[in-house]
Amino acid sequence: MSYLKVSDISKQYDQGSDALVNISLTLEKGEVVSLIGESGSGKSTLLKIIAGLEVQDRGEVYLGETRILNPSQKLVSGYDEIKLIHQGNHLYPNSTVGENISRPLLMYDKAYREERVKLILEMLNLTSFEDKYPRQLSGGQQQKVAIGRAMSIEPEVLLLDEPFSSLDTIQKRELIEELRAIFDQMQMTVLFVTHDLDDALMMSGNLVILQKGKIVQEGKAEDIFRNPTTYYTAKLFSHLNIISDKEGAFIRPMDILIKNKGRNPGKVSEKKFLIHFNQLTVIMPEGEIWKVEDKERTCEVGEDIYLDWDKNKEVCLSFVSSDDLPTS
């Protein structure tokens, strides 16, 4: 039996529109999965249902053999075994780091409480900040305190609802790497929700992609990248250039070769300096606007270039419903 099992969950908003449609997924013990989707796709609603904090219209959630009851079925909603961490850290401003982490443990034995807080502080490299207040910490440190507080009562599952979106790129990258190592060490089961693919990939190579309340694809990131089943899924990983003479065929900017002569002529209309390459905007003969990666940084605006690519790297979506494909 799967450790965390979400089975056929559906939920409608009050106005009758679908928030979630027939959602089913499973996580094994110690597995870290990234759930990615655009704003309004139902990610936060799903996490609340999994945590027992939101009423679903249909479906069930199990942790092991325990059925997770929703607020209409349970006097006090929520479970200590499943902790949901939001974007806002909700720390107590007039309590120290140590006091914030120990709050869920107030009814526990004092010796255990002190031992557990010490362990969490050491694990998150917060020992030297134990007596500081949240206002004295960086955004990343505050988020670690919030996660430490959630972990203090030894939950079996962590649900992370875009907890790093307010952090800058460096803080976010360092914190995700640090937490991922801790999750691996503790064999913690984690479902991480984000709208940012880079964050999702840093946290986990296992992805679940949600669009308009439905799971459109799930699996290993590399498999999804190479074999997307929808235009939305394919577009998550990069811009897609439409190959005009092949219905439903696209080529990614990273897979295009720039040549001085040959087929597929185009003119560079714009150049942007990015970290690993110059991104070119290229106007093709039929007026299509393509994005191309100039890894050698040799092309200039106004230059005529020729493009080529390996046919095996084309993204084929000819089997996808026309409603899912772009109109231009």
Helices then strands, counting H and E runs in the chain, come out as 8, 18
Q: Is the pLDDT of residue 319 over 70?
A: no
Question: What is the overall mean pLDDT for the chain?
Answer: 92
Distance CA 215, CA 319 (A): 18
Crossing angle (nearest 10°) for helices 169-186 and 139-151: 20
Whole-model pTM: value is 0.89
DSSP 314: P
Q: How confident is the model at residue 324 (pLDDT cuts 50, 70, 90)?
A: low
Could you tell me where in the chain the CATH 2.40.50.140 domains are found?
A: 238-324
Overall fold of domain 238-324: OB fold (Dihydrolipoamide Acetyltransferase, E2P) (2.40.50)
How are strands ordered across the β-sheet holding 32-36? 82-85, 157-161, 189-194, 32-36, 206-211, 214-220
Which tens digits make up the pLDDT trace of 190-248? 999 999 999 999 999 999 999 999 999 999 999 999 999 999 999 999 999 999 888 88
Residue 247 confidence (pLDDT): 87
250 forms bridges with which residues in the sheet?
Answer: 242, 315
| Number of C-beta neighbours around residue 318 at 10 A | 9
How are strands ordered across the β-sheet holding 58-63? 18-27, 4-12, 58-63, 66-67
Overall fold of domain 4-226: Rossmann fold (3.40.50)
Which tens digits make up the pLDDT trace of 123-181? 999 999 999 999 999 988 999 999 999 999 999 999 999 988 878 888 889 899 999 99
Q: What percent of the chain has pLDDT over 70?
A: 96
3-state secondary structure of 238: coil
Q: Is the pLDDT of residue 327 over 70?
A: no
Which tens digits make up the pLDDT trace of 101-125? 999 998 899 999 999 999 999 999 9
- State whether the Cα torsion 210-205-272-235 is positive or negative: negative
Could you tell me where in the chain the CATH 3.40.50.300 domains are found?
A: 4-226
For the segment 302-316, the average pLDDT, to the nearest whole number, is: 95
Q: How confident is the model at residue 322 (pLDDT cuts 50, 70, 90)?
A: very low
